[in-house]
Structures are given as structure tokens and as C-alpha cells.
Structure 1
Amino acid sequence: MQVFWQLRWYFLQQWRRYGGAIAILVVVSLFELLPPRAIGWIVDGVVAGEMTLLTMFGWLVTLALLWFCVYGLRIVWRVWLFGAAAELGTVLRNRLYRHFSSHPPIFFERHKTGDLMARSTNDVNAVVMTAGEGVLTAADSLITGLTVFIVMTAFISWELTLLALLPMPLMAIAVFFLGRQLHHRFSASQAAFSDLTDKAQETLNGVRMIRAFGLEQRQQADFSEVVDQAGDKNLAVAQVDAKFDPVIQLAIGLSFFLSIGGGAYLVHIGRLTLGDLTAFTLYQGLMIWPMLAMAWLFNILERGSAAWNRLQAIFEQEPQIVSGQTPLERTHQPLSVSIDAFAWPGQSKPALEAVRFTLASGQMLGLAGPIGSGKSTLLALLLRQHELEQGQILYGDVPLKEADLPQWRSRFAVVSQAPFLFSRSIADNIALGRPEASLEMIREAARAACIDEDIMQFPAGYRTMVGEKGITLSGGQKQRIAIARALLLDAEILVLDDALSAVDGKTEHNILSNLRQHRDKTVIVIAHRLTALEEADEIIVLQQGSIVEQGDHRTLVAQNNWYAEMYRYQKLEQAIEGA
């Protein structure tokens, strides 16, 4: 029953629906007490020869009307109860999505995508079932069982009632131990389902690579192993489930055996009439559902408890990055970066150290350096995807830790090296940040990103569906669509994280020239191809997390260090390829 206490916040929120449904359940239970008693009176009247055809017809019409009324009331309480339970699924999934969105990237390094998907589907469904079927079985079994027990005891025979309930303690003990076993096995099966979901998601994402390397058979074998493990865990749950019904049926059968045997004896000695025994048997039939429901309730609660514990483990993980309270009222402020040291969790060596610079509004900053030099780490700190403990970053005079985080991130438009496109049309992907944008605005952004001509060559133009993750487009087309999306957003700071790596030199030059026309836009370009940084107002070269060169393109070329050497090497490489 602990899971009911854990969900009390939702029951209090939906108290009208749950309270109304339970109230109708009470009325229905009271109505259902009348037919067995009436049938008992009919039997006694028939046996005594006192029941006329007209009287019997009147009883039958009354019972039919009563059952019709019960039918209508059952529809009402089901709509209220299961409607509230279904809404809990919506609440939990929205809460999970907001919770996932509030976490920095390190959270998704700890939790695989498949595991999070499993918690958002199977675990939520198990909790919803607890809030629906669980509440139903708990309330209905308690109300029906209690009222029927009172009627059987007070109005028919307490001795026969006691005799019929003798098997119940044995059933309760068996169900208790089976429920404990089910809890552990269901937790294990949900974890196995998480592994299965993650394996399927990972395999489908990498299907082209798998085919390119001819790894279909090996991946099939690996996937089959995960499927078998999940199947074994589900089979273990089914084995416990299978033990519930025999225990219940045995208890019910033994209860009927004792009641019929004892009732026949009481009729024989004159303590009960045949009608009383008939009514008692019908009441005992009403007790079958509470017996079944109590066992089913333990099953539902153990599943719901295991699922809620998995969800709660996610909810209890507070976001490591917390928004500040200072609103960013001014725009186009200088960005001052002073990083004393930053190290990734679990690593002693700093990823960045002694990195200091100021970027004025409207300027273009270039970031260069070998792989692993700290360029992407610096960008993550600028976006506050990780917390900077030693040093600070200022936007104007507002420290980044104190700034309103959604406001700060809304100042950025970021284009990564491997941009993500949704399974929508090209126009929808470009207008992702501004869904109200007109087609002409979308085309203007596409022209600036040098992708308009490519799009118009497609049969459906801007209505062309790009497929999952843009699978129907080339790498360069995806990058340029992502750049167009960022330009349409018209953010104050545009970040190109090696976002021109898949386009040719001429297209790169045209895109950068178009960007320079937006003099009010601050641009940060991370590039390995140094020709992309020629127009930058300032270039910072990072090596092993520290600034080793700083200045504009001409200054760095004249210094004849890493930047100049790499620039000449790339120029030579282009000349050889051109020849």
C-alpha cells in the first residue's frame, strides 16, 4: 500500500473524481446486496407454495430495473476513475520531459536513451495501472467485501460465514509472499526492458554503419542475447503471476465446499431455510470478486511500487545547473571570460586553464587548435552546460551563475558539426525556432546559408521531408539547413561549432561573407579549416586547454607558430587537390 501513499499528491489533486467514483461504488455495492436476498425470498415462497406468478413477475421486473441502474452507475464511475488514472500518465510524462530538459549533458551520459524511454513508457504505464485498476480493486474489494460480510453475518448466519472464511488467512499469507517475490522480479524485468530498448535504439541509429562493415550477423546475435535475457526476466515474472490464480481458486473452492457442507447441515437441523442457503451462496458468489481483487491488488501494487521507485530515482536527481535570478535586461553586452581552471568530473588534469579574453558585441571570434585542445569545452561553459567553479564568465556586468538561464541560452543560436534534423519538412526544420515565420523569411535565411538553390531542386521544394535525422540529405546540406535555422532565429550570438566542415571552400566563403553583413551579431566560429577564420576580429589558439596564440589572422600568420604552420599546410593541401 506504500505506493498509494507515494501517489497521495495526485489523489488529493483529483479528489473529486476519485471521491465521486468511490461514492458510486458504495451505492452499487448496496444495490448488489438486494438481488441475492430477493432471490432467497422467492425460493422460500416457491417452496412454501405462496409465490404467485404476478408477484414473481414483479420481483423479476424490479431486479431487471435494479441491474440496469447498476449498469449505468458502473459506466459513470469507470469514466471518472480511469479518466483520472489516464491523466496521471500525461502528468508523469510531461514531468519527465521537463525533468530531462532541465539536466545538463552529463545526466545523459549516466543514463542511456533506451533506459529513459523505458521509464517513460512501461514504468509510467505500471503506475497508471496502479492509480486506476489498483484503486478500483482496493476500494471495490473493501466495500463489497465488507458489506457482503456484514449482511452474511448479521442477516443469515455468522457461523456459516465464519466457516466460509476459514481458507482466507491461508490465501492472504500465500499472496503476501508471492507479492514480495513479484516485486523483485518485476524490477529486474523492467531493467531488462530498459536494456532491450537501449540496444534497439542504438542498433537502429547505427544501422548504416553496421551494414557498411557487414556486422549484421554479429549485431543480430548480440540483440538476440539481450532479447533472451529480457524474455527470461519476463518469464520469471509470469511464473510468479501463474501462482496467484491457483492459490485463489483453491481458496474459493474450499470456501464454497465448507459453506455448502455446513449450510446443508444447518438446513437439515432447521437453523436455516433453503432460501437462506441460496441467498448465502449468492452472497458468497459476490465475495469471489473481493477475493480475486485482493490477490490482483497485491500484483498491481507490487508492479506499481517497483515502477514508481524507478521513476522516483530519476525525479530525485536534481539538475546540477540551477538558473540564477538576475534578468538580462540589456542586450549586445561584451562577453568577458576568465577561466582559472576547469576539469571534467573524475579527472584531475584541467581541460581548460588560464583562459581569458573579452569578446565585444558584434565581433567575430575564431577558436582553433588541435583535437582535444578544449574548444568544445569552452563552448559548453559559455552555454553553461557545465558549472565553472574556478573563474567566472560575465555578460556585461552580470555573472553567468547569477543570470536567468533560459534568458541567457536564448541569446545563442548554435550549429554543431553534426546537426540534428527532425523528421519533418525542410521548411519546418528551418523554422524550428520561429514556427510563425513566413516562407519568404525561411527562404531568406536559406539564401544566406547558401542552401536555397539545393532545396528548390527537390521536387517538393521546401515541403520535402528530410527523413529521420535528415537521412535523405548530404552532410553539407544538413549543415547548411542548420545554419539557416540559426540565422532565422536571429539570436544575438551565433556559434558555428565546426559547422562548415562538410561544405566546399567557395560555399564556406559565401556563408561567412553573408554572416559578416550582420554587424550587430556576435559570431563564434570553431573550425579546423583555418580559412574559415580569416575574417575573424580575433582568433584564439588552444593547446592542451591553454591559450598559446591570440590575435587576428594576419598577426598569427606573421608569428610563424602553430597557426601559421597549419594554415600553410592546409593551403598546400588545397593546391595539390586543385591540381
Structure 2
Amino acid sequence: MRVFLDLWWYFKREKTSYIIGIIMLMIVSILSLLPPYIVGVVVDLMVENNLTVEGLTFWLIILFFVGLAAYIFRYLWRIMIFGASIRLARLLRNQLYEHFTNMSAKFYQRRKTGDLMAHATNDIRAVEQTAGAGVLTLVDSLTLGGFVIITMAVTISWELTLLSLLPLPLLAFLTNFYGSMLHKRFRVAQAAFSSLNDRVQESIAGIRVTKTFGQEKADIAAFQAESDDVVKKNLRVSRIDALFDPTITFIIGVSYFLAVYFGAGFVINEDITIGQLTSFTIYLGLLVWPMLAFGWLFNIVERGRASYGRISELLAEQAEITDEHADTTKPPSGRFDVEIHSFRYKSEDDPVLNDVRFQLKEGETLGVIGRTGSGKTTLMKLLMREEQGVNGKISLDYRSIERYTLDALRTSFGYVPQDQFLFSATIADNIAFAKPNATMQEVIDAAKLACVHEDIVQFQNGYETFVGERGVTLSGGQKQRIAIARALLVEPEILMFDDSLSAVDAKTEESILEALRMKRSERTTIISAHRLSAVKHADVILVLDQGKVVEQGTHESLMKKDGWYREVYNQQQLESIVAEGGDTGGTYG
């Protein structure tokens, strides 16, 4: 029953609803005692030949109003108790969602999407059951069971009551034993469901890749194996769950046997009447529900305890990047002073960046180039403070980046990642994602800057075209340019492209860069790329190799050196001319 203590904070918060609901439940329990009593009275009147039409009518009218009152109070307690449990589910769901949005990127590297979805669905549903049906079964089994036992003992025979309830200690022992086993197995089953949930999400997201490589059968086989594992683990839960009802039914049968066996002797000895024995057996029937509810209670509580434990563990995880040292909410402009002695991820032994130093004035453009794995994306993340733990200093506007609140930083940055994410919405909604109140003209202007307007108007529904989940109906280049338009729309102080022009052709790339130079002449732009033509106009170019700056300068100064930049630029220019069917005609450099 520890889960009720864990949820005590919520019971106190919704105390009015729970108190009213429990009072209604207790009234229903008291009303449930009247029909057996009335039946006993009527039976005794019949045995004594004293039953009249007027008397029978009186007792039937009493029964009618008892039933009507029970109907009303049952409706009220359901509204109060189940309503409170639904509000708890909403509260936990909102807490989880807010927690997800506040967590750092590393949190999502450790946690699988399907697992997080399972927490927000199955686990919350189990906790909701505990706060609703769990409270119901606890209160109802105690109040109705207690009232029935007291009534049987006081109004009929305490000796017969004691004899009939002799099997109850065995019931308490067995249900507690089953509950402990159920808790362990249900937690394992929920973990298996989380894993299956993640596989489904991953398979659907990657269905195009699966089909391209002809791996549908392998994917189906893997899913079936994981699904079988979920079934197997849930069957282990069901085997314990299935023990509750038969055990309770058997113990109730023993109680009935004892009641009839000893009750017959009490009637023969004239200790009780036939009507009282009839009432006693009906009261004993009323105990069936509390006993079943008691067994069901252990089932609900153990499921809820396992799920609430999983949710609590998740909510207890702290975001790694916080506003702990922040002292300003003013969004920064675009002057960078960077002096990174070294940086390494916690999961790695070797540094990812070493001795990276540069200055970037507001309104200038920084180009970051290098081979795959040279540290370009890591540098981008550090500049946006998506990672921390730098041995050195990163300053914005002469102030340490850690002194800005995260909201202030996010306001200043516009980011276009390598893997563009588009939502299941219209093209217009995707472009206006960070500025929902943008006018249609603003959306169109941003699309024109990103050189995607002409593509959009070719679609049947234009800007109202629904792109589908993750933008599956668009080409890679179209997705990239829509993501660029989304970043341009908010006119950020600092715009960052993380290899975000890789899917567009050279002509389109040049058009986008020219538009950026004209539109953002007074704002800072940072471009990471493999294609050197994307950064040749930059005021500062960093050439990274294995996390170190091996060359630094402008395009002109780097072309004068006999280094990696000049070699790769000439090679890419040659490849471009050959691809266009042109004549190399001379030497570059």
C-alpha cells in the first residue's frame, strides 16, 4: 500500500473531491445493509403468518427509496473519485511533457523514444487506476466489509459471524503474497512494452530505408520476436493475476459452508430465527465484493506502484544544462570570443576539441570546415550551449555564455541542423513554427530568401500542402530549404547552419548565400560545411582536423597557403567543372 503514501501529496491537493467521494461511498455501504435486513423481517413475518399487503407494500416502498438513494450516491462518488484520478493523469502527463522539453540533448541519447512514450501512456494509466479504482476498492472493501461484519455480529450473532470469518486471515496472507509477485513481474512487463513501443516507432520512422534495402521480412521477424517476449512477460503477470479470483471464491465458499452448517444449529437451538439466518447469508453475499475488491486492490496497487516508480525515476533526472550561473535575461548579440583549451564528452576519454580560439564580431560570418568527425558539430553545440564542460571560455558580448539564461540564448539563436525535422503540418505552419503569429507575407518572404518559394507554389495546395510526418513527401533539398526559411523567419541575431546546404545544388546554394549576405549584413552567421563554396565569403574560416584548428583566416589568405583548404577547394572546383561537362583549361590556386 506504499503507493498511497507516495501519492499522498495529490490526495491532499484533491482532498475535497476524495472526502466527498468517500462519504458517498460510506453512505452507499450503509444503504446496502438495509435490503438484507428487510428480507429477514419479511421472511419472519411470513413464517409467523403476520405478513399483510400493507406491510409488504411499506417494505417495498422502503426498498425502492433505498435503491434510488444508492443510485444517486453511486453517481456522485464516481464523479468525485474518478474525476480526481483523471486529473492526476493529466497532471502527471503535463509534468512529464514539461520535463521532456526541459531536458538536455544527452537525456534523449540515453532514453529511447518508445520508452518515454510508454511512460506517458501505460504507466500513467496504471497510476490513474490506483488513484481511482484503487481508492474505491480500498475504501469500499473496508467500509462495506466492516459495516457488514459489524451488522452481522451485533444484529444477528457474533458467534456465527466469528465462525464464518475464520478463513479471512488465510485470504489476507495469500493476497499479500500474490501482490509481491505481481509487482516484480508487472515492472518487467512494462519494461518489455517500452522496448516494443520503441521498436514500432523506429520501424515506422525508418520504413523507407527498410523497404529500400528489402529488409521487411527481417524487420517483421524482429518485431514478432519482441512482441512474443512482451506476451510471454505479460502472461507471467496474468498467471499471478488469475490466482486472485479463484482463491477468493474458494475462501468465500468455505465461509458459506461454515455459515450454513453452524447457522442451522443456531436455528435449531432457537438462538436465531429463520429470517435472521436468511439475512445472515445475504450479508455474507455482500462480503463477496469486499473480498474480491481486496484481491483486486492488490492487483491495482502493485501495478500502480511499479508504474509510479518508473515515472518518479524519470522525473527525478535532472537537466545537465541549467540556468544555475545565469544572471541576465537579455538576449545576446553576435560577438563571440572563444578560447577552448579542450573539450571531451563524458562518455569518451579523448578530447573532441583542442586549442580552438577565434573572435567573431557582430555582423560577421564564421565558416567551419573539416573532414567528417573533425569536431564541427561539437563546436556548434558548444556555441549554442547544448553541451557544457569546456576547459576554457566561450563569451558572447564579453559575457560568459553560462551567464545568459537558456531562454535568452534560444531567443538569439536560429539553428538549421544537419537532420532537418518537419512536423506533420502544412508547409506554412512548418515555416512559422517559431513565430506562430507571422503573417502569410512574412512566411513567403522567408521562403523566397531560402529559395524554396518556387517549389512550394508548384504544389497543388501551395503553402497549405500537408507535408506528412517528418516531411516524408518532400525531397531532401526541399526539407533543407524549408528548415532554412523557418530559421530566417524569426530573424535571429545569430544564425547557425550545421552542414545545412548539402542537399541543394551549387546554384541554389549561391543564391541562398547571396540572399543571406544582403539580408544579414548586420547580424552574425555561422556556417559549417563540407563544400567549401559555402564558406568562401566568410570573414573568418576555421579548418578543423581531429578537433584542432589547423588553418584559420579568410578565403583569400587561406588560398595563398599551401594547405588543406587550398587543396580541397581546388579539388572541389575541378569536380564541379567536370560534373558540368566543362573544360578545366588551367590550374587553380
Q: For the superposition of Structure 1 and Structure 2, which TM-score range results when normalised by the shorter chain?
A: over 0.9
Secondary structure at the counterpart of residue 287 of structure 2? helix
Q: Check conservation: 1:333, 1:395, Cα contact below 8 A.
A: yes
Kindly state the Cα deviation for residue 333 of structure 1 after the two structures are TM-superposed.
4.9
Q: What is the letter of the counterpart of residue 193 of structure 1?
A: F
Q: Is residue 2:342 matched to residue 1:341?
A: yes
Q: C-alpha separation between the residues in 1 aligned to 2:383 and 2:98? A: 22
Q: What is the letter of the counterpart of residue 186 of structure 1?
A: F
Secondary structure at the counterpart of residue 560 of structure 2? helix
Residues 421 and 333 of structure 1, relative CA distance in 2, 3 Å threshold: closer
Cα-to-partner distance string for 1:201-231 (whole Å, 9 max, x where unaligned): 1111211111111111111211111111111
Secondary structure at the counterpart of residue 433 of structure 2? coil
Secondary structure at the counterpart of residue 466 of structure 1? coil
Q: C-alpha separation between the residues in 1 aligned to 2:390 and 2:563? A: 32
Cα-to-partner distance string for 1:356-400 (whole Å, 9 max, x where unaligned): 112211111111111111110011111212212411211223322
**Percent identity over paired residues:** 46
Aligned to 1:453: 454
Query: What value does the CA root-mean-square deviation take over the aligned residues?
Result: 1.2
Q: Is residue 2:471 matched to residue 1:470?
A: yes
Q: Check conservation: 1:105, 1:385, Cα contact below 8 A.
A: yes
Q: Is residue 2:539 matched to residue 1:543?
A: no
Aligned to 1:299: 299
Q: C-alpha separation between the residues in 2 aligned to 1:485 and 1:88? A: 36
Q: C-alpha separation between the residues in 2 aligned to 1:304 and 1:151? A: 33
Kindly state the Cα deviation for residue 506 of structure 1 after the two structures are TM-superposed.
1.0
Aligned to 1:61: 61
Q: C-alpha separation between the residues in 1 aligned to 2:303 and 2:388? A: 38
Kindly state the Cα deviation for residue 329 of structure 1 after the two structures are TM-superposed.
2.4
Q: C-alpha separation between the residues in 1 aligned to 2:391 and 2:385? A: 14
Listed as ranges, the matches of 1:141-540 within 5 Å are 141-324=141-324, 325-329=326-330, 331-517=332-518, 518-540=520-542
Q: C-alpha separation between the residues in 2 aligned to 1:284 and 1:387? A: 67
Secondary structure at the counterpart of residue 336 of structure 1? strand
Aligned to 1:26: 26
Residues 320 and 138 of structure 1, relative CA distance in 2, 3 Å threshold: same
Secondary structure at the counterpart of residue 437 of structure 2? coil
Aligned to 2:123: 123
Aligned to 2:586: none
Q: Which runs of 5+ in 2 are unaligned?
A: 582-589
Q: C-alpha separation between the residues in 2 aligned to 1:387 and 1:5? A: 38
Q: C-alpha separation between the residues in 2 aligned to 1:331 and 1:460? A: 39
Matched residue count: 579
Aligned to 2:585: none
Q: C-alpha separation between the residues in 2 aligned to 1:555 and 1:232? A: 67
Q: Check conservation: 1:114, 1:196, Cα contact below 8 A.
A: yes
Q: What is the letter of the counterpart of residue 482 of structure 1?
A: A
Secondary structure at the counterpart of residue 395 of structure 2? strand
Kindly state the Cα deviation for residue 181 of structure 1 after the two structures are TM-superposed.
1.1
Q: C-alpha separation between the residues in 1 aligned to 2:496 and 2:398? A: 22
Q: Check conservation: 1:340, 1:354, Cα contact below 8 A.
A: yes
Q: Check conservation: 2:267, 2:274, Cα contact below 8 A.
A: yes
Kindly state the Cα deviation for residue 331 of structure 1 after the two structures are TM-superposed.
4.1
Q: C-alpha separation between the residues in 2 aligned to 1:182 and 1:302? A: 7
Q: Which runs of 5+ in 1 are unaligned?
A: none
Q: Check conservation: 1:381, 1:388, Cα contact below 8 A.
A: no
Q: C-alpha separation between the residues in 2 aligned to 1:15 and 1:397? A: 53
Q: What is the letter of the counterpart of residue 364 of structure 2?
A: Q
Q: What is the letter of the counterpart of residue 536 of structure 1?
A: A
Q: What is the letter of the counterpart of residue 504 of structure 1?
A: D
Cα-to-partner distance string for 1:106-147 (whole Å, 9 max, x where unaligned): 111211111111111111111111111101100111111111
Secondary structure at the counterpart of residue 559 of structure 1? coil
Normalising by structure 2, report the TM-score. Answer: 0.96
Q: C-alpha separation between the residues in 2 aligned to 1:191 and 1:102? A: 24
Aligned to 1:564: 566
Q: Check conservation: 2:364, 2:525, Cα contact below 8 A.
A: yes
Q: What is the letter of the counterpart of residue 236 of structure 2?
A: A
Q: Which moved more, 1:151-160 or 1:32-41?
A: 32-41
Secondary structure at the counterpart of residue 341 of structure 2? strand
Q: C-alpha separation between the residues in 2 aligned to 1:363 and 1:27? A: 76
Q: Check conservation: 1:368, 1:542, Cα contact below 8 A.
A: yes
Q: C-alpha separation between the residues in 2 aligned to 1:62 and 1:355? A: 89
Kindly state the Cα deviation for residue 560 of structure 1 after the two structures are TM-superposed.
2.4
Q: Is residue 2:37 matched to residue 1:37?
A: yes
